[in-house]
Structure 1
């Protein structure tokens, strides 16, 4: 079996597989591109909430899931505590530490 990988652009590539019986399979695969804002996020980075999540999950050893009844609002500022799988971050806010998806906040750019 012969295998070749040909990048065609920044987003797509063509993977060609041929076997002894001359079968040819062509697939397009989308390559993952990281967000420019994700590169700026690291432990200790300040963040600002841009959208209030509907549910909040605490970052305790025994997590608790609860509805966001005005606890976290857009404009709240916090710090990254740790990174979890699937673009989830532990964020320390003034009311506690919560697990939040990266779509709910962005890095806070401090002028200094």
Structure 2
């Protein structure tokens, strides 16, 4: 049985590439997808120019489907791990 009381606390997530990310980590964009998905309750697709290559953000959560919620200066967006790297 899974204990859901501490569901929101910081937890590391290990990806296929053996890179570890945690909520609160700083990351840098290394490539842009064709469209960027917003992290709103009702996600929308935005053009990729809302974020720039090299822009840094903070991981705010992990989403289903291999997406990470990352807060940038122009909003919070969902990206797959292939589009960013850790700054540490």
TM-score, structure 2 as length reference: 0.76
Runs of 4+ in 1 over 3 A off after TM superposition: none
Higher strand share: 1
Question: For the aligned residues, what is the CA RMSD?
Answer: 1.4
Alignment of 1:54-73 (within 5 A): 54-68=34-48, 70-73=49-52
Aligned counterpart, 1:107: 86
Greater relative CO, 1 or 2 (CA 8 Å, sep 6+)? 2
| Structure with greater Cα Rg | 1
Deviation for aligned residue 1:67:
2.1
Tell me, which stretches of 5 or more residues in structure 2 are unaligned?
1-14
Looking at structure 1, the residues matched to 87 and 45 of structure 2 have their Cα atoms a distance apart, in angstroms, of 26
Equivalent residue of 1:36, what SS?
Answer: coil
Aligned counterpart, 2:30: 50
Tell me, which stretches of 5 or more residues in structure 1 are unaligned?
1-32
TM-score, structure 1 as length reference: 0.61
Deviation for aligned residue 1:64:
1.0
Equivalent residue of 1:103, what SS?
Answer: helix
1:84 aligns with 2:63: yes
Deviation for aligned residue 1:36:
2.4
Looking at structure 1, the residues matched to 66 and 82 of structure 2 have their Cα atoms a distance apart, in angstroms, of 9
